[in-house]
Amino acid sequence: MTRPVRVRYAPSPTGFPHVGNIRTALFNWLFARHSGGSFIVRIEDTDVARSVEGAVEAILNGLRWLKLDWDEGPEVGGQFGPYFQSQRLHLYQEAAERLVAQGYAYHCYCSPQRLEEMRAEQAKRKQPPGYDRRCRELTQAERLQKEVEGIVPVVRFRTPLTGETRFNDLIRGEVAFDHATIDDFVLLKSDGYPTYHLANVVDDHFMEISHVLRAEEWLSSTPRHLLMYQAFGYEPPLFAHLPMILGPDRSKLSKRHGAVSITEYYQQGYLPEAMANYLALLGWSLDDKTEIFTREELVKHFSIARISKTAAIFNIEKLSWLNGLYIRKLTPDEFFAAAEPYLMMYQAAGEALLSDEAYVRIVLPLVQERARTLADVAELIRFFFTERLEYDSSLLTGKDMTREVVRNALEMVRQKLAAMEKFDSEMLETVIRPLAETLGLKTSHFFGALRVATTGRTAAPPLFQTMAVLGKERCLKRIEAALAKL
């Protein structure tokens, strides 16, 4: 039976969403949009102790930033709500009691202390950890006794002791888990809160989820979930476990690989379109060579069949490269609008990078080619705004010229510039380029000295365009300052 495609992104607000997490969101969204199905956001907030203040907002903002709109979930509602698990506790409690009544689950009265001792003992004997099933076969009288003592039980699943669960993962193919390796896991805690397993299965059923696309780390939970579906008599969804994401050194992805929370990518000046394009390639490909995809192309081509089994490598260099490409594709207006919030931050910190908007608009196109992130922009344009350039005078001479030679050259440029009326880049080129020969200098050496004198750096946008934008007065002042340094 084919059901309508309904997929969900089910984050736990235990931290700010990281790369892997948001890739899961993207793949679910792409699959939903590709199939004309629904994309649902469900907040799995039943682990009260590990909840992080502000995480839900960060998650939703991350989705909005990447333009992953959701059809049902927080803020938008929907007919299968509420979409916060903390508001659905009664459903889980009923479900757990139903399993207990039918013998698929049981009450366990073991104290945390006893479980602690049990675990220590298992560790000592080098036995695999897991509940030893002490309460699995309690008699009615024994249970009553515990209740009389006032012990509030947890509910545990009665995992079959033998046999196995097999299923066909849409990415990994057939997967089998021996029941002997699965303990009697907790469904409902003594405080009435469900565990991830219970809430996840109950919600996926009641929300009519058709496909579960989630990170590979959940693969080993799936047999438990399938056993629960069977016990409940529910039809399970199809499963697709997304490949892990590793650092370039193939170790667990971490901050040191440049993997940060989605909020930080915004702060570092990545464009959402570039980010989404990059994330899409973490485990999915169209043909192993195409790397640039518009949103529409991603939606059009996305398929679970093209998701790889092997781990994806997160490479921040590649993301930055891709981001640079997207920055270059912006129109001048778009680039200004994208860079503005970043320049604003510097402006707010007392650095006047935005005071003269018309000037900024002229400056920006000169650095658009070179910016790999929007946060780079301030650094790239700063020299257009500072009154006094700070640089070491040895940069003027480089390795190949004496101070004398450079002083001479800059003095000649100064005189030429002072006499110029029209001050655009073509005119500058016409006037200045021939001087190299007059001075008997290699063009690269001569231009190098002039670049340092006018920009304070050895690498900058094209020299004559830069000088034209700086204007005659600034150029002269800077050359005079350079002469003084020599």
Catalytic residue positions? 255
Residue 101 exposure: Cα atoms within 13 Å on the Cβ side = 7
Amino acid at 70: W
Of 274, 276, 297, 295, which is closest to residue 287 (Cα–Cα)?
A: 297
Q: Which helix (H) or strand (E) holds 177?
A: strand 173-178
- 57 or 356: CB nearest ligand GLU: 57
Q: Which helix (H) or strand (E) holds 188?
A: strand 186-188
The CB-of-206 to ligand GLU minimum distance in angstroms stands at 15
- Pair of tokens at residue 390: 């700070």
The CB-of-56 to ligand GLU minimum distance in angstroms stands at 12
- 238 or 412: CB nearest ligand GLU: 238
Give the pairing type, strands 154-157 and 105-108.
antiparallel
Interacting residues with ligand GLU (CB under 6 A): 10-12, 44, 200, 214, 218
- Cβ pair 405, 441 in contact under 8 A: yes
Residue 26 exposure: Cα atoms within 13 Å on the Cβ side = 30
The CB-of-182 to ligand GLU minimum distance in angstroms stands at 17
- 246 or 450: CB nearest ligand GLU: 246
The CB-of-241 to ligand GLU minimum distance in angstroms stands at 10
Q: How far apart are CA 447 and CA 445, in angstroms?
A: 6
Q: What is the CA radius of gyration of the chain?
A: 32
- 11 or 269: CB nearest ligand GLU: 11
The CB-of-10 to ligand GLU minimum distance in angstroms stands at 4
Burial of 215 (0-12, 13-18, 19+ CB in 10 A): middle
Q: At 190, phi and psi to the nearest 5?
A: -70, -20
The CB-of-189 to ligand GLU minimum distance in angstroms stands at 16
Task: Measure Cα distances from 436 to 343, 405, 416, 441, 458 in Å.
Answer: 37, 11, 13, 5, 18
Burial of 295 (0-12, 13-18, 19+ CB in 10 A): middle
- 314 or 326: CB nearest ligand GLU: 314
- 27 or 270: CB nearest ligand GLU: 27
The CB-of-240 to ligand GLU minimum distance in angstroms stands at 11
- 11 or 236: CB nearest ligand GLU: 11
Of 60, 24, 16, which is closest to residue 282 (Cα–Cα)?
A: 24
The CB-of-57 to ligand GLU minimum distance in angstroms stands at 16
Indicate the SS3 state at residue 169. strand
The CB-of-261 to ligand GLU minimum distance in angstroms stands at 14
Which are the contacts of 406, defined by CB distance < 8 A and separation ≥ 6? Answer: 396, 397, 449, 486
- 218 or 423: CB nearest ligand GLU: 218
* Sign, Cα dihedral of 382, 384, 387, 389: positive
- 23 or 445: CB nearest ligand GLU: 23
Nearest residue to ligand GLU, by Cβ distance, number only = 214
Which are the contacts of 148, defined by CB distance < 8 A and separation ≥ 6? Answer: none
Q: Which helix (H) or strand (E) holds 484?
A: helix 472-485
- Cβ pair 353, 360 in contact under 8 A: yes
Q: How far apart are CA 480 and CA 52, in angstroms?
A: 57
